[in-house]
Amino acid sequence: MSDNSLDQKMAAAQERLDAHVRESVEWHFNPETGCDYWLEKAKTLDFDPRKDIQCFEDVKKFPLFEDEDLRGGPLDKWVPKGLAGKPTYVFETGGTTGIPKSRVVIEDHWIDYENFSETLPDEHFPRGANWLMLGPSGPRRLRLAVEHLAQHRGGICFCVDLDPRWVVKLLKKGKTEEAKAYAAHVIDQAVTILRANHNVQCMFATPKLLEALALRLMDDGGSIEEAGIKGIFAGGTEFTPQWYRFCKEELLGENVFITPTYGNTLMGLACGKPFDIADEYKITYFAPQPRAVIEVVQFDDYNKVVDVGETGRVKLYTFTKELFIPGFMERDEGEREPAIELYPWHGISGTRPFHELLKTTTVGVY
């Protein structure tokens, strides 16, 4: 890879992003196509988005998006007029107590996961094979998204019942034994699916559940590989370099492929840099630009990115037809990573809970 070539690719990616931002702003702030929320918000701004936002950098003129605005209804305010009348999903995040944050979705979860599908190697995620979704069920984007991914690749997705809100309640009450019993109940469901001759070869799993499933299979004299699984993608801040190594060397064995992902209901799905032993298990994510952007910003100035290699807080942007998020402070931090040929824009590594919020967060629900 020459620096020249990468520079050119980065410049082209930046141009694409700027153009995409202009298109997105025009869509979301045009009274004919935008949603009530942003059209009303525009009246409170001291600039005209359609005139003054001409590139990604201009997006920083917006105040930070407050995800508290996502609590409660009516949800119609979030549906762009240009998409009115289309079948609409609502996905929730949080919600253990009080009103959860909601996001309306029409097709974004399909598009995000179809794009993600292109990054999955066919030899490890065979087309036509069936999938197991070992993650949260209920009003979650992930459950339908993984199911769509399976269908998009010609397979059927098997799911488990898993209510993460109940687990959070148990943990907050200190009922760790009950939480363990619930986790065992989830693993029981997964084992039953895997033993029912369903040709399941691909999986999504959270790190904790994958670990529990693999150990259960080992206790029973089997393994993930022997259960027929060839490829797994998993996500979250618990997917650490040490856990990655543990998976490859001990939990899964060398014949089962695993790849990390990072995302949330607002942004979609960031892909991991393809595994390279030279990286020493460092996990680097790249946002699905131009539909979403990840920045690593200074702790004391959320409009300034840190230098490559430096640590900062995760800032997310979403620019799809369905959602406009001009900068949202995620509850994570990490290190800014240089662009690569495959993803010619900056990435992030070492994602972990934001240190200032750590004391108030119940991490590792499922």
Torsion, Cα of 350, 352, 354, 358 (10° steps): -150
The residue from 38, 182, 233, 243 that contacts another protein (CB under 8 A) is 243
Backbone angles phi, psi at 237, to 5 degrees: -70, -10
Spatial separation of the C-alpha atoms in residues 38 and 31, rounded to whole Å: 10
Place of tokens 């794009």: 115
Q: Determine, following the binding rule CB under 8 A, whether residue 311 of this chain makes contact with another protein.
A: no
**Do 297 and 315 touch, CB atoms closer than 8 A?**
yes
Spatial separation of the C-alpha atoms in residues 274 and 260, rounded to whole Å: 9
Q: With CB under 8 A as the contact rule, which of the stretches 8-16, 155-163, 213-221, 294-302 interacts with another protein?
A: 213-221
Q: In this complex, which beta carbon is closest to another protein, that of residue 334 or of residue 353?
A: 353
Q: Determine, following the binding rule CB under 8 A, whether residue 218 of this chain makes contact with another protein.
A: yes
CA atoms 297, 114, 54, 12: torsion sign: positive
Size of the site for another protein (CB under 8 A): 20
Q: Determine, following the binding rule CB under 8 A, whether residue 118 of this chain makes contact with another protein.
A: no
Residue 210 C-beta: closest distance to another protein, Å: 9
Residue 269 C-beta: closest distance to another protein, Å: 24
Q: Determine, following the binding rule CB under 8 A, whether residue 85 of this chain makes contact with another protein.
A: no
The residue from 245, 299, 304, 308 that contacts another protein (CB under 8 A) is 245
Nearest to 48 by CA among 21, 67, 75, 30: 30
Q: What residues contact 11, with CB distance under 8 A and at least 6 apart?
A: none
Q: With CB under 8 A as the contact rule, which of the stretches 137-145, 164-172, 241-249, 310-318 interacts with another protein?
A: 241-249
Residue 188 C-beta: closest distance to another protein, Å: 18
Q: Determine, following the binding rule CB under 8 A, whether residue 250 of this chain makes contact with another protein.
A: yes
Q: In this complex, which beta carbon is closest to another protein, that of residue 12 or of residue 215?
A: 215
User: Among residue numbers 162 through 191, which ones bind another protein (CB under 8 A)?
Assistant: 174, 180
Spatial separation of the C-alpha atoms in residues 306 and 291, rounded to whole Å: 22
Residue 174 C-beta: closest distance to another protein, Å: 6
The residue from 68, 242, 307, 360 that contacts another protein (CB under 8 A) is 242
Q: Determine, following the binding rule CB under 8 A, whether residue 228 of this chain makes contact with another protein.
A: no
Spatial separation of the C-alpha atoms in residues 322 and 265, rounded to whole Å: 13
Q: What residues contact 340, with CB distance under 8 A and at least 6 apart?
A: 1, 6, 273, 286, 347
Q: Determine, following the binding rule CB under 8 A, whether residue 251 of this chain makes contact with another protein.
A: yes
Q: How many Cβ atoms from other residues are within 10 Å of residue 93's Cβ? A: 16
Q: What residues contact 97, with CB distance under 8 A and at least 6 apart?
A: none
SS3 320: coil
Q: With CB under 8 A as the contact rule, which of the stretches 39-47, 92-100, 160-168, 245-253 interacts with another protein?
A: 245-253
Ranges assigned E (strand) in 152-244: 157-159, 200-205, 231-235
Q: Determine, following the binding rule CB under 8 A, whether residue 225 of this chain makes contact with another protein.
A: no
Q: In this complex, which beta carbon is closest to another protein, that of residue 60 or of residue 273?
A: 273
Q: List 347's β-bridge partners, or say none.
A: 337
Encoded one letter per residue, x for contact with another protein by CB under 8 A and - for no contact, window 325-354 reads ----------------------------x-
Interacting residues toward another protein by CB under 8 A: 174, 180, 211, 215, 218-219, 240-246, 250-251, 280-281, 353, 358, 363
